[in-house]
Amino acid sequence: MENRNIGLSLFIFLAGLLFGLSTSYNSWDGIFFVYTGSADHRQPAAINKIFDYSHLEGTALKLAAQERLVESAKVEVSDRQVGIALGHFVTKSDQGRKILACQRYSKLELEFIAPGIAVNGLPPKMIVESPCHENDQDINRMATIWLPLGELYASAPSDNFEQQYFNNLPVTLRMENLGGQWPDKWVLNSVQLKGEMDDLTISKDDIRLLPKNVEFTVPR
C-alpha cells in the first residue's frame, strides 16, 4: 500500500511538472490569463470586470472600447520611428467565449490628421493599416505599430502616397492632401477594428469627447 501511494504521488508530481512546462500564466490589471501552445493563443481564465467587455454589444461596447483603446494608448519614439500601442480589452467570440479584442478583430485602421494645416480647406491625412496582434511584453496593450516616419520624411512629400513596411508587423501607410510639405505633428482622428463578425469604429466625434487623445511629433 505504501509503495502504491508513493507511485501515485510521483505520478501527480510529474503530471503537474509537465503542465507547468506547457502552460504559463500572466496577469493584466487583475485579469488572469492562461497561455498555452494551442491555436487560440491567450485565453482569459478569470476576468476582472474592469476591462471585461464580453457582456457588451453595440453602443455599449463602442463606448467602453473607445475609452480603453485611446486613453490607454502608448506612444514611443525610437530611432526616428514612432510606435503606437492601443489599449487592449476582453470581448467575446461568436460562440460567446471570452477572448481578447485582437482575436475578434484581425485588422486595425488608424487615421491621423495634421492640426493647424489646411490644403484646399482640408487637413493633411495619414492612414495606417496593420494586423491586430497581442503584445507579448505588455498584455495591457495591443502590439506596437511602428511607423518609420523619420526615414519617410527624408524624401520629398507627394500626395496620394502609399507604402508598405515590414517590421514587427506589416504596416501600410497612406498619405493624403499633403500640399508639398511634411507635417510636424499628427493627432489621432479615428480608429477602426475590423473582424469577420463585425467592425468597431471610433469616429472623430467620438474621440473629441475623450479627455485624452493620441498625438505625436515626428522625429527628424
Domain count, the chain: 1
Domain that holds residue 132: 51-217
C-alpha cell at 108: 486595425
Q: How far apart are CA 86 and CA 70, in angstroms?
A: 6
Neighbouring-strand partners of residue 134: 142
Decide if 23 is inside a domain: no
Q: In Å, what is the CA distance from 53 to each residue of 71, 120, 166?
A: 16, 42, 32
Decide if 27 is inside a domain: no
Q: What is the pLDDT along the chain (220 residues), one digit of tens a residue?
A: 555 555 545 454 444 444 443 343 444 444 444 443 444 455 554 334 678 999 999 999 999 999 999 999 999 998 889 999 999 999 999 999 999 999 999 999 999 999 999 999 999 999 999 999 988 888 788 999 999 999 899 999 988 889 999 888 999 999 999 988 999 999 999 999 999 989 999 999 999 999 999 999 999 8
Q: How far apart are CA 207 and CA 218, in angstroms?
A: 21
Prediction pTM value: 0.79
Decide if 156 is inside a domain: yes
Decide if 29 is inside a domain: no
Decide if 7 is inside a domain: no
139 and 131 in contact (C-beta within 8 Å)? no
Residue with cell 512629400: 157
| Contacting residues for 161 by C-beta, under 8 A, at least 6 apart | 173, 174, 175, 178
Q: What share of the chain is helix, strand, coil (3-state, %, to 5)?
A: 25, 40, 40
Decide if 19 is inside a domain: no
Decide if 148 is inside a domain: yes
Q: What angle do CA 157, 160, 166 make, to 5 degrees?
A: 80
Decide if 25 is inside a domain: no
